[in-house]
A and B are shown apart, each in its own frame.
Chain A
Amino acid sequence: MKMTFKITVIGGVIVFFAVVIAAVFIPKLVWNPDQTIVAHPYTDQEELGRETFYSNGCNYCHTQYVRAEDTAMGPVSDGGNYYFDNPMILGSERTGPDLSYIGRKRSEAWEIEHWKNPREVSPLSIMPSFEFLSDAELNAMASYLFNLGDRVAAEYMILPPEPYANLIDPLIYPAISPDSNQPQGWPTWEASELQAGKELYVNRCMTCHGCAGNGLGTYAGTLIVTPADFKQEPFRNMPDEQWFWHVSEGVQGTVMPPWKESMSEPERWQVIRYIQQIFARPVERDPDEGDPSGEYAGLTNPVPLTVETLDEGKAIFIRECRVCHGDAGTGHGPYRQGLLPLPPDFSDGSYGTLQDPSYTDADYYWRISEGLPWSAMPSWKLRYSEEDRWKLVQYLRVFFTQTEERPSSPSGQDFLFPEVYQSQAMPETASYERGKQVFLERCAHCHGLAGDGQGWDGQYLNPQPANFHDMAGMQMSQSGQAEHLAKVTFGIEDTAMPTWGEVLPVSERWDVIKFLMGTFMAGKPATESVYGDGAVAANFVTLSQDNWLAEGHVISETQGADLYGTYCATCHGPEGQGDGPGTQSNASQGPAAFPQDMGEPYIMWRIWEGVPDSMMPPFQWLLSETEIWDITAHVQQMTASSSGGG
């Protein structure tokens, strides 16, 4: 082929345009994706922000499109997401995170701070500082990003592929709607296949997702990726198709199995329906529970009531029921939050008396075995034998509802515990402060914060919780310590003292014993108030009520007074003089009277973190931040020098 100038130029242009038409112009003609819900026209402010964003080249480290293979970045980007974009700033490198769906993930104030001082708020970042941009530019950019790809959490999820796309629950049972006039009792519950769903849940899901649906089942702690907490987004509003897809195919990167291998389609829908109704979107209902029928009608407890069977019932209760019903059966377990209905308070008197019980053995047994309609109460018949369930009935009736006679323990018999415990000695690593935290979280609601057995939950118990003040001045030998470890571990047979060995690691059991010995045997001297120095921990110095209120919280001094009465007055006394009832005959000396005019930061600090090496516990482990602010407000008002002030 002879190459002339003409052939080179004309041929070159023809080849060029042939390919350009195929690879550039035709795509331009045929590819015009429709606007998606992610795309929105930009306001002037957002447009300025977008301009600032690309003029400064942010898109050279931050991409704006998500691939199917990307982990946890949101849905795969659609061409229509960029309907209003000009120029396109998809980006080609991901030195920083993808920003396709950054909207609403961070506040605008956070973003601005992050641009000024990247490593202050995001320590691993290698982003340069953009503090040289004007406030107007920073605000505009924040507004652009705040509205970029913003959607509700469920929509961030990867859309289910065929055949799961657009599936809905095939069973539309009208009575599921809380507005329906249908009676909400057992017949409706069973007709909606919710009981079948509950049984599947208890059998298949509960070990990981937990009886309360919060992802804290017994296996949860062994998993690297925490099981889903159905009470949180995105599960609360997750569409049916997502549920069915994840249940059927499992969840990539987790141990969630593909249940399609072992559950039929209707079964998967049943369990999904149960989770949605009970955990994700619970509604307050007033079900008619009815009376035990069929195999449960008229049953009486076949297991003879002894101290030993009670003890076995207790072990099951502590292992399974405590998390919702609470150690003292008052329904104040740690997982109760978000449950509808809430677990019952066995001490509220509605269960009758010893002579005149409102519920028979069959009533208890039936509820434990089958659970209750429209409640998270599992069907324990799937997990525990008849005998075990009967023992649980005994435990509830004897100690909590107190509608059954407590068997007397064989007199003169020592507390028996396994031989291996007798040689245990307190490890040197046992910590008074950690013990104080365990005491606060696990023991104080029955034994009282002052250890006088006057806790707010356990007063109705019979026998009453132990009064540790009786231990004042005692010495404890190694064998005594070992015995106490065993008591904490196995509980005390003829009382409601839990078998903490089911729940607490041995190190924490030693910690709490160390706390008990230090506080109620040896005793702690009264701590001098350090308030006079004006010393406040560094991170509390700038604390201010104004900031807390500015975040939209409310501080109630009245509420604070109530909380003070429950938690503080036992030692500090109703007037803050340090003469509460819990100080009586206590080995540890009572607290000093409150100094006048302590500042908020000081009070907050002391309540939040406690006082080391004294009985004052760090209440951050027991109370919410709101509650601590309430108490602070009350204490501040109590100690104001001009008490008439407003």
Chain B
Amino acid sequence: MLSKKNSASANFMLSAALWLVIGVLMGLTLALQFVFPDLFRGIPWLVFSRLRQAHTNTVMFAWLSGAMMGVWLYIVPRLTGRQLWSETLGNICVILWNMALVAGIGGILLAYTQSREYAEFVWIIDVGVMVVLILNLVNLYMTIAHRTEPKLYVSLWYISGTLIWMPMLYFIGNVMWNPATGALTGIDDTIFNWFYGHNVLGLWFTTGLLPVIYYIVPKETNTPLYSHFLSLIAFWGIAFFYTGVGAHHLLWAPVPYWLKTIAVAESIGMILPVVAFMMNILLTMRGNWNRFMTSIPLRFIITGWAAYILVSYQGSHQALRGINLITHFTQYVPGHAHLSLLFFAASVLMGAMYYIVPRIYNARLYSRVLANVQYSLYVIGFTFFFGGFLLTGLVQGTSWLHQGLPVWSVLPGLRPYMALRAVGGSLVVISFALFTLNILVTVWQRKPVSQPDYPKPKSPKLVTTSD
């Protein structure tokens, strides 16, 4: 049962689709608590400070990472021209991954946390995560090593890189050699924390999702990727520049000044690979923009691509000391994180799942209308949602810095923007619920793919001549 073809990929994606709904509902709960702080009073596991950690871990690991690994398990066999090395191992990964996350997220809600941003899981959960990362690495590396297609397509560079970077990153960033607290003593711990914290985005989600874009855009447009050379620049550029940006979260913390400067320089350097990637996809899309409206997967993927460009430029600017001075500590920063994970990563993964799930089950998507409605809600909802973050953050930053106001005195003035965020956020939550529904019903119903309904030629009337 565990060895059925493509089952590991499907299981990863379907479990992630369920986690998605849980994760965004947590987010909505948080957004509401900003406006109505006593809404869930007296329920310890819904208290903001615990739920925030549960929310980030749910969406990052349970939803995004789970779905992403599922997508890889589908893409890699296609690009290597063979089956997955071990479907059973893939399914073991699915089970272990979900078990670790149930325990880890449940633990956070019960106040078992290391409280280092994005590295909250306690040591034993970290071990579970590491085991899955390594098993997954073995599985996909063996698939790639024994490939029948000699050429290594750009998506495979990224996936091979990401597979090896993430376990090293996770081990170092979580200080796994110190099981008690998963942290170092003293200020250096924060350098490790943010090296990891930013690279979960840089060397996991970014390098894990760009290959998905590189795969689906040419497939859905029936156009070869525009340039091998631009892909090289983007790949090595990201590997070099992204690894060192972590300290831009610490521009005002007591860590070495030169380290901050390295981080700022690397952040600005990120513009290079981002432009290379942007142009590569843009030029591949040339002449294919009609497909943007007709292909649901492509529409989501291209939206994710645009969001990636936006969030990368935003990130590079935000890392400049002058801009960071205003935005740091404010809601502008979680706004940036949501632009990245909720608009770039989620959009790419939804597009990929709309592409892959019907193919795995050889079934028709349950409803294109629902998918269209879902897309509109997603984009409109996110716009208000992101606007809420942006305005809250800018009001906070300028009030503190330019008017010298204390933190608490600004809170009442933020309330409208926080409410805007909750309103936009609830549209996004509805959109995601529709997505999960659409995917699950597709799998449930398995409507057979119908061939295009060409008019059948009428059978020629046999003219018999009687005589």
Contacts and interface: CB of A to CB of B under 8 A. Distances in A.
* A and B pair up: yes
Interface of A: 1, 3-5, 8-9, 11-13, 15-16, 19-20, 22-24, 27-28, 30-33, 54-61, 63, 65, 67, 69-72, 76-90, 92-98, 118-119, 122, 124-132, 253
B38 A12 contact: no
B299 interface: no
Contacts of A125: 37, 408, 411
B47 A130 contact: yes
A90 B115 contact: no
Nearest to B47: A128
Contacts of B116: 87-88
A30 B49 contact: no
Interface string B181-209: 11111111111110100000001000000
Contacts of B111: 55-56
A62 to B, nearest CB: 9
Given A79-B255, A130-B47, A5 B408 contact: no
A180 to B, nearest CB: 44
A405 to B, nearest CB: 59
A54 B182 CA distance: 13
Interface centre among A3, A58, A253 (most CB of B within 10 A): A3
Contacts of A84: 185-186
A23 B243 contact: yes
B408 A15 contact: no
B34 A126 contact: yes
Given A127-B37, A129-B38, 9 more contacts: A5-B144, A8-B160, A23-B263, A32-B188, A86-B183, A87-B114, A88-B186, A95-B411, A128-B40
A77 B145 CA distance: 51
Given A54-B115, A57-B115, A77 B254 contact: yes
B41 A124 contact: no
B195 A86 contact: no
Contacts, number: 233
A79 B44 CA distance: 33
A128 B33 CA distance: 8
A528 to B, nearest CB: 46
A442 to B, nearest CB: 36
Interface stretch (B81-89, B325-333, B353-361, B458-466): B325-333
B53 interface: yes
Given A16-B168, A122-B408, A124-B409, A93 B333 contact: yes
Contacts of A77: 253-254
The dominant DSSP class at the A interface is: loop
Contact of A3 (B157, B253, B330): B157
B165 A12 contact: yes
Contacts of B452: none
Interface stretch (B289-297, B310-318, B398-406): B398-406
Nearest to B326: A69
A189 B368 CA distance: 93
B188 A27 contact: yes
B329 A128 contact: no
A78 B191 contact: no
Nearest to A17: B168
Contact of B160 (A9, A58, A86, A87): A9
A16 B331 contact: no
A23 B247 contact: yes
A631 B96 CA distance: 76
Contacts of A11: 236, 239
A88 B182 CA distance: 10
Contacts of A130: 47
A149 B213 CA distance: 49
A98 B263 CA distance: 25
A141 B249 CA distance: 27
Contact of B191 (A3, A27, A85, A253): A27
Contact of B186 (A4, A54, A85, A95): A85
B193 A88 contact: yes
B37 A128 contact: yes
Given A12-B164, A31-B255, A24 B191 contact: yes
A13 B203 CA distance: 12
B397 to A, nearest CB: 10
Contacts of B182: 87
The dominant DSSP class at the B interface is: helix
B244 A22 contact: yes
B42 interface: yes
A23 B333 contact: no
Nearest to B196: A24
Nearest to B231: A3
Contact of B254 (A63, A65, A92): A65
Contacts of B53: 57, 60
Nearest to A132: B44
Contacts of B249: 92
A59 B120 CA distance: 12
A24 B181 contact: no
A94 B195 CA distance: 21
B396 interface: yes
A124 B37 CA distance: 11
A71 B52 CA distance: 28
B407 interface: yes
Given A86-B181, A128-B41, A132-B42, A9 B115 contact: no
Contacts of A24: 172, 191-192, 195, 246
Interface in B213-245: 232, 236, 239-240, 243-244
Given A85-B185, A85-B186, A23 B114 contact: no
6 contacts: A3-B152, A13-B168, A55-B111, A55-B113, A83-B186, A93-B331
Contacts of B396: 94
B329 A23 contact: no
A70 B397 CA distance: 10
Interface centre among A27, A70, A131 (most CB of B within 10 A): A27
Interface string B402-445: 00111111011000000000000000000000000000000000
Contacts of A132: 42-44, 47
A27 B254 contact: no
Contacts of A4: 152
Contacts of A127: 37
A61 B33 CA distance: 13
A59 to B, nearest CB: 6
B259 interface: yes
A224 to B, nearest CB: 11
A12 B161 contact: yes
Interface centre among A15, A19, A67, A128 (most CB of B within 10 A): A128
A118 to B, nearest CB: 7
A250 to B, nearest CB: 15
B41 A96 contact: no
Interface centre among B141, B182, B244 (most CB of A within 10 A): B244
B262 A22 contact: yes
A503 to B, nearest CB: 33
A23 B262 contact: yes
Interface string B143-170: 0110000001010110011001100100
B407 A96 contact: yes
Contacts of B409: 124
A232 B342 CA distance: 52
B90 to A, nearest CB: 20
B106 interface: no
B273 to A, nearest CB: 12
A548 B246 CA distance: 54
Interface in B372-395: none
B366 interface: no
B193 to A, nearest CB: 6
A22 to B, nearest CB: 7
A56 B187 contact: no
A103 B262 CA distance: 35
Nearest to A131: B42
A202 to B, nearest CB: 31
A253 B403 CA distance: 9
Given A55-B112, A89-B115, A16 B152 contact: no
Nearest to A29: B188
